[in-house]
Amino acid sequence: MEKAPINWINMVLFTATPICAVTLVPLYGYFYGYDLYEWLVFVFLMGFCGMSITGGYHRLWSHKTYSAHPFLRFIFAIGGACALQNDILHWSSDHRRHHQYVDNNARDPYFAGRGFWFSHIGWILRKYESHVEDFSNVKDLQKDPIVMWQHRHYLKLVLLTNIGLPAFLGYLHGDIIACLLLGGLLRLVLSQHVTYLINSLAHMWGRQPYSDDCTARDNSLLALITYGEGYHNYHHTFQWDYRNGVKWWHFDPTKWMIKLCSLVGLTKDLKRCTVAQIEKAKLEMQYRLATERCELLDIPENWRKRLELEYEQFLHTLQLWTEHRQAWYEAKGKKIQETLGHWDQLQLQDKYKEMQFSLKVQRRRWQKMLRNLGEPIPNPA
């Protein structure tokens, strides 16, 4: 099979920058050293680039999970150029195609099934047919003046942010070379490969609690270095949600940044899945895996019937809880409160709390059944 032609610009760039980073950065550090200011420049620019990609390129423009003020969109456009991962239009087009054709060898630009190297960086180094320039899927972004401004001036912005900005910060401190090496070169290489880990490792290592329709996986460790993007199975299942780490304790600084910006008016229309949608996806996945296990282990028919009955009961309880939760939240609205009496409001609240308790009990029973799957069913007393 004939190999795709080499993209020589990318080949030289992605070969030269890592080589320079692993040689020049430690050599300069050995002979001259780096101080706290220069490392802070590195950390600042890493965060600036990373959050511009995750919060801007990914969750804002590619998936439109929220709306952002022009000022914030401008900041993201600058940070995205600094990350040197192509302009917004190209990046979003590739990413939308990835979601549309995920795991399709011929259509997914960075198909993980072709191996770690291809999905991580190999797809950039050659001119593959799956990586054609086609902006038909980003016509909405072509109406954004900031997106088109960055598209037209991308090369100038790349030079300004990757050379001019760290050089200027170094000039203020008295060591231009140190800031260029840390804030420019090392930061560039690391920020790029951190992003590429989502295309590669997040499709190979981790859990699939919500769906196994594609190779995407949740990985809490990966989330620590990718600004929250490591919860990739959730993201591919609910790609319209502005969160990737759905639980409050999940490390997702991009989610926190978007929410914080909403408090000061820089973001709005934050989209999120309902608790019921998430719970149902997990339940369906658990039930399917349990039935497959029953087949594999040849578990008796009475266990399978009991599992199916418990699954249907869980779905029913979840549906009732959703309805009561919706009624209670609507009752708390000002207009509804004016039409409902105090006694009616208390009744709705009590019903909601009762169903909430029933759902917790049902969840415990379901988890216990999954743990004890295949064991002898105790006879009723």
Q: Is residue 379 part of a domain?
A: no
Q: Give the dihedral of Cα atoms 275, 276, 279, 280; nearest 10 deg.
A: -150
94 phi/psi in degrees, rounded to 5: -60, -40
Q: What is the pLDDT of residues 302-327, one digit of tens each?
A: 888 888 999 999 999 989 888 888 87
173: pLDDT strictly greater than 70: yes
In a shared domain, residues 360 and 343: yes
Same domain, 198 and 331: no
pLDDT of residue 1: 46
Give the least confident one: 75-89, 135-149, 157-171, 348-362.
348-362
Query: Of 246, 268, 290, at which residue does a domain stop?
Result: 268
Helix (H) or strand (E) holding 68: strand 67-68
Residues 180 and 318 in one domain: no
Within this chain, do residues 101 and 165 fall inside the same structural domain, yes or no? yes
* Cα distances (angstroms) measured from residue 68 to each of 106, 130, 254, 267: 34, 31, 14, 4
Q: Do residues 90 and 236 both lie within one domain?
A: yes
Which of 113-117, 324-328, 333-337, 345-349 bottoms out in mean pLDDT, i.e. has the lowest?
Answer: 333-337
Count of domains in the chain?
A: 2
pLDDT bucket at 380, cuts 50 / 70 / 90 = very low
| Structure-block tokens of residue 220 | 């809490």
What is residue 377's predicted lDDT score, i.e. its pLDDT? Answer: 54
* 148 in any annotated domain: yes
Give the span between the Cα atoms of 214 and 101, in whole angstroms.
10
Lowest-pLDDT choice from 107-121, 237-251, 267-281, 315-329: 315-329
Looking at the structure, do residues 264 and 321 belong to the same domain, yes or no? Answer: no
Could you report the per-residue pLDDT of 202-230, keeping only the tens digit for each? 999 999 999 999 999 999 999 999 999 99
Return the axis-axis angle of helices 70-83 and 187-199, rounded to nearest 10°.
100
- 2 falls within a domain: no
Average pLDDT over residues 336-365: 76
In this structure, the chain runs to a length of 381
The verdict on residue 1 lying in a domain is: no
Tell me: do 147 and 16 sit in the same domain.
yes
Q: Does residue 381 lie within any of the structural domains? A: no
Regarding whether 203 and 282 lie in a shared domain, the answer is: no
Share of the chain above pLDDT 70, in %: 94
* DSSP assignment string, 237-281: HSTT-S-SS-STTS--HHHHHHHHHHHTTSEE------HHHHHHH
Would you say 200 and 116 are in contact if contact means Cβ atoms under 8 Å apart?
Answer: yes
- pLDDT by residue (tens digit) across 50-88? 999 999 999 999 999 999 999 999 999 999 999 999 999
Pick from 197, 369, 201: nearest CA to 293? 369
Residues 233 and 284 occupy one common structural domain:
no
Could you tell me if 293 and 372 are in contact, meaning their C-beta atoms sit under 8 angstroms apart?
A: no
Query: Which pLDDT score is estimated for 209?
Result: 95
CA atoms within 13 A on the CB side of 142: 8
Answer whether residue 376 is part of any domain: no
Asked if 257 and 114 sit in the same domain, the reply is: yes
- For position 105, what pLDDT does the model report? 80
The pLDDT score that the predictor gives to residue 339 is 56
**Residue 355: which pLDDT band, with cuts at 50, 70 and 90?**
confident
Range of the domain at 367: 275-371
At 134 the pLDDT is 86
Q: Which of 268, 298, 315 is the C-terminal boundary of a domain?
A: 268
Residue 334 has pLDDT above 60, yes or no: no
pTM here is: 0.90
Residue 378 forms part of a structural domain: no
Q: What is the mean pLDDT of the chain?
A: 91
Give the model's pLDDT for residue 295. Answer: 86
Single out the residue in 236, 268, 300 at which a domain terminates.
Answer: 268
What is the per-residue pLDDT across 277-296, written as a single tens digit (0 to 9) for each?
Answer: 999 999 999 999 998 888 88
- pLDDT band with cut points at 50, 70 and 90 for residue 133: confident
What is residue 116's predicted lDDT score, i.e. its pLDDT?
94
**Partners of 218 in beta bridges:** 207, 231
Same domain, 118 and 19: yes
Kindly state the greatest CA–CA separation across the chain: 82
For residues 285 and 262, state if they share a domain. no
Asked whether residue 151 is assigned to any structural domain, the reply reads yes
